[in-house]
Amino acid sequence: MLDARYLRTNPPGLREAILARNGDPFHLDQFLEADVAYRRLLSEVETLRAERTKESLEVGRRRKAGEDAATLQAEVKALGDRLKLAEEALGPALAAAETALHWLPNLAHASVPVGDAAHNTIVKTWKEPRRFDFPIVPHEELGARLDWIDMPRGTRMSGPGFPVLKGLGAKLERALINFFLDVHTLEHGHTEVAAPFLVRRESLFGTGQLPKLEDDMYRTTDDLFLIPTAEVSITNLYREEILDAALLPIRHVGFSPCFRREAGSYGRDTKGLTRVHQFMKVEMVRITTPEASYDEHEKLLADAEDILQRLDLPYRVLLLASGDTSFAAAKCYDLEVYASGADRWLEVSSCSNFEAFQARRLKMRYRPEPGAKPEFVHTLNASGLALPRILIAIIENYQTADGRVRVPEVLVPYLGGLRELGG
């Protein structure tokens, strides 16, 4: 959530900055209008309360002195009636301002290119895509042939976009999860968290998915939501808390299934594991001070890159343009891994700095020093990594001419010493 005090100043360039984030300045106008009305009403309430208190004291003084207080008492009653009406209007006025504020996206960091996805900038490439002297079989075809990926049975069970992994395919995914968690906890300094997969509406509001992305969520009849990422649960651990500065930065990592309707995406990237409604992901979350957040952002990116380098998968890093950055983020890097069979780059991690946007919604603060006024923390996250497209990249970058899949060296211990996987 943006800082209401900053928006009230309506500084030059604010509307353009909101447009650059695909936001609608109409919501800014709504907020400014509703905020003025709310503050005017609040001022009226405070004035009426002061007047009523003052005149009530005078009524008491007159009665004590034996003077006539009937007329003044009637005025106090009239003030009370006006005050009651104003107080009743105060809640709806505040709600109108907050509702408009909730639809405004975070503002982009100064280093973010302005524009749509065409303006994303490649800031790094690691290794050239592999070239093979035999035709590469796409992951969905080879996965079906080896009986690792079963899309038809998943579709029959739950509908399109719900894959079934079997045999060595399921084992490979489990090996990747354990490898990711081991590296992030034992070497990158994260504390592992196993948090709920179902959360309340306010938890998703806190991390910025609601209200904008409600159509992309799976929801139960009692208004619990299946998480789209472990970021939601892990970040919400510290909602409405004032943290000790000595505890920062907090570095957490967690594994979870992720559930996404992907509303409006039907017909795009639907082959195999490329775009699915349920998938596994390891997520990293950082909570830190404003001064340290962009250093932590670069470290977070490096941790995600480290996994790809150990897997020896060619990848590139994109700095996303303002119009392609998620609603809540101020700056985002995407990590894209190269898939030889599809001959394309696939996103496997988004590494985002939300600055204080999530913290304001979550009322998550820290005290810079004992006795100091609490300030909002900065929150960050990155996939470390998402499993489906890593599986695609391994199947397509490590396959052999006879239709088997070599095991990346770092995964050999996690697969009982196997160096090649077949049917």
Query: Would you state the structure tokens that stand for residue 273, as one six-digit string?
Result: 């594991």
The catalytic position among 33, 192, 202, 347 is 347
Known catalytic residue: 275? yes
Known catalytic residue: 419? no
The catalytic position among 55, 352, 389, 396 is 389
For residues 92-129, one letter each, b for 16 or more C-beta atoms within 10 angstroms of the residue's C-beta and e for the rest, the string is ebbebbeebbbbbbbbbbeebbeeeeeebeeeeebeeb
Known catalytic residue: 336? no
The catalytic position among 350, 352, 355, 361 is 350
The catalytic position among 21, 52, 251, 260 is 260
Using the Cα atoms of residue 255, residue 296, residue 122 and residue 320 in order, give the sign of their dihedral. Answer: positive
Known catalytic residue: 347? yes
The catalytic position among 21, 275, 361, 365 is 275
Three-state SS at 131: coil
Cα separation, 142 vs 160, in Å, equals 19
Query: Would you state the structure tokens that stand for residue 145, as one six-digit string?
Result: 């042939």
User: How large is the C-alpha radius of gyration of the chain?
Assistant: 27
Q: Are strands 250-259 and 278-288 parallel, antiparallel or unpaired?
A: antiparallel
Q: Where are the beta strands (DSSP E) in 166-320?
A: 191-192, 198-200, 218-219, 224-226, 242-244, 250-259, 278-288, 315-319
Known catalytic residue: 389? yes
End-to-end CA distance of the chain: 50
Three-state SS at 256: strand
Which residues are marked as active site?
A: 260, 275, 347, 350, 389
